[in-house]
Amino acid sequence: MTDVTITALPAPPLHVFEIWSEAGAVAKRFATATGFDLPIMGRSGGSDTLRLIRYEPTVWLVEGDASALTDVLGKDGALTAIGGGIVRVRLSGKGWRALLMEGGVFDAESASFASGCSAATIIDHVAVRLHVVSEDTCDAYVPLSYSTALMEFWHTAAETLTA
């Protein structure tokens, strides 16, 4: 059996931060307002109260207090609450990488997919966002409508995989 624990976490405030125009100006306003730069593609960054995870060229997932971000965007983008439609599933233990390879199309076993990295992928026919929290922990952001089925899939797979 693979050494991995699968846990649905309490829902933090989640938003999508999307830039439509004037990306450079938005990035400068963001750094001034938050004290850190927007994360580059495939990475995360933030503070104890605000974390941004970049999955797409102009889109970030925001965890935490996003109240200042509407002003940062102005008319150059949008901040959309999505917390009710997403379940954050924590995969922890040495086997989380092997588990993500089951039914997935992303190389989760790559050494370059390390702490602070993010990826958008498909697992068992559903769009999933991944964020590596630490060497032994990865959070998966799963659509609520598919979360029960995907967690069941992962529990079944974990029983048959070897670490």
Distance CA 71, CA 26 (A): 10
Residue 49 CB coordination number (10 Å): 10
Give me the mean pLDDT over the 92-119 stretch.
Answer: 93
**Which class is 5-10+84-159 in CATH?**
alpha beta
pLDDT at position 160 is 87
Q: pLDDT value at position 48? A: 87
The mean pLDDT value for 54-58 works out to 93
Which has more confidence, 103 or 153? 153
Q: Which residue has the higher pLDDT, 30 or 84?
A: 30
Tell me the domain boundaries of the chain. Answer: 5-10+84-159, 14-83
- Into which CATH architecture does domain 14-83 fall? 2-Layer Sandwich (3.30)
Angle (CA) 127-128-131 rounded to 5° is 155
The answer to whether the beta carbons of residues 109 and 54 sit under 8 Å apart is no
